[in-house]
Amino acid sequence: MVLVMIKILIVEDEPNMRMGLRDNLEFEGYEVDLASDGEEGVEKAITEKYNLILLDVMLPKVSGFEICKQVRAKGIKTPIILITAKGEEIDKVLGLELGADDYVTKPFSLRELLARIKAVLRRGTNEVEQDEDATIGLLNVNFKTYSAFVDGNSVQMSHKEYEILKYLWQNKNSTVSRDNLLNDIWGYDENPTTRTVDNFILKLRQKIEIDSNHPKIILTVHGIGYKLITS
Ligand code: CA
């Protein structure tokens, strides 16, 4: 099960390093956002939503440690991997104490970095926790307790319907293709068709939309798939 659109913020002041990391991570299928100094880094880390932050320690304006501290002080639990330089052993400990999840030491191989990113993402269920409870208009869903209400009235949904809704919620306001849904919800071993996806969406709409003929939550993106709209 691979979630689409894993978004990583890279905070790194050295242009070559920044661009190199971006190219490599994009090649691996991650969506990448960049910040070139500490000030921009802290701003983005606090205002945008990421699955992971790759944070250089030695940065102009605001250090990586300071960013770590500020981000955690705001209650943001996004996993952070620190990039430290050789010989900064004490810094590593300090970084972890300040709320970083892991670190890599320059120079590091791409392979090592990717392994750490994957491990931290696997561990980091924070994103999921933040997304446990969804309120969209009159709809309120809790993906942990599997309960859903429309205008205060309980709605019965199947496990698969919860999974689809959760997937759309995690990718809210972005278009999710039928193929994304097929691969990530049904997996490769089952044999559903895009028609199966459409039928499930139809049933889901009948349960969560006020008027399923004029959906306001799950919109059709013609020829591609669906988009869950939160406002
Ligand atoms: Ca640096």
Tens-place pLDDT, residues 72-126: 888 888 999 999 886 666 676 777 778 888 889 888 899 999 989 988 887 755 4
3-state secondary structure of 81: strand
Instruction: Tell me which architecture the domain covering 7-125 has in CATH.
Output: 3-Layer(aba) Sandwich (3.40)
pLDDT of residue 1: 43
* Domain residue ranges in the chain: 7-125, 133-228
- In contact, 198 and 140? CB cutoff 8 Å: no
User: What CA–CA distance (Å, rounded) separates 188 from 38?
Assistant: 42
CA dist., res. 69 & res. 211, Å (int): 46
pLDDT at 132: 79
Q: What is the pLDDT of residues 171-216, one digit of tens each?
A: 899 999 998 888 888 875 567 788 889 999 999 999 999 999 999 9
Residue 188's pLDDT is 58
Distances in Å between the Cα of 148 and the Cα atoms of 76, 85, 129, 222 are 26, 48, 17, 27
Cα(97) to ligand 1 centroid in Å equals 20
Q: State residue 89's pLDDT score.
A: 63
Q: Which residue has the higher pLDDT, 90 or 229?
A: 229
Ligand 1 centroid to Cα of residue 111, in Å, is 21
pLDDT of residue 61: 87
Q: Is the pTM of this model over 0.75?
A: no
Q: How confident is the model at residue 4 (pLDDT cuts 50, 70, 90)?
A: low
Q: What is the pLDDT of residues 9-49, one digit of tens each?
A: 999 999 999 999 999 999 999 999 999 999 999 999 999 98
- Could you tell me the distance, in angstroms and rounded to a whole number, from the CA of residue 119 to the centre of ligand 1? 24
Q: What is the pLDDT of residue 15?
A: 96
Distance CA 26, CA 18 (A): 12
Task: Report CA-CA distances (Å) from 105 to 84, 108, 115, 145.
Answer: 5, 6, 14, 41
Report pLDDT for 90: 65
Mean pLDDT across 140-165: 90
Interval between CA 13 and ligand 1 midpoint (Å): 5
* More confident of the two residues 99 and 131: 99
Distance 77 CA to ligand 1 centre (A): 23
| pLDDT the model gives residue 211 | 93
Q: What is the pLDDT of residue 127?
A: 47
* Rounded Cα gap, residues 64 and 2, in angstroms: 29
| Alpha carbon of 56 to ligand 1 centroid (Å) | 6
User: What pLDDT score does 126 carry?
Assistant: 46
Q: How far is the CA of 59 from the centre of ligand 1 (A)?
A: 5
On whether the CB atoms of residues 42 and 62 are closer than 8 A, the answer is yes
**Fold held by 133-228:** Arc Repressor Mutant, subunit A (1.10.10)
Q: Do domains 7-125 and 133-228 have the same CATH topology?
A: no
Report how far residue 97's alpha carbon sits from residue 100's, in angstroms, rounded to the nearest whole number: 7
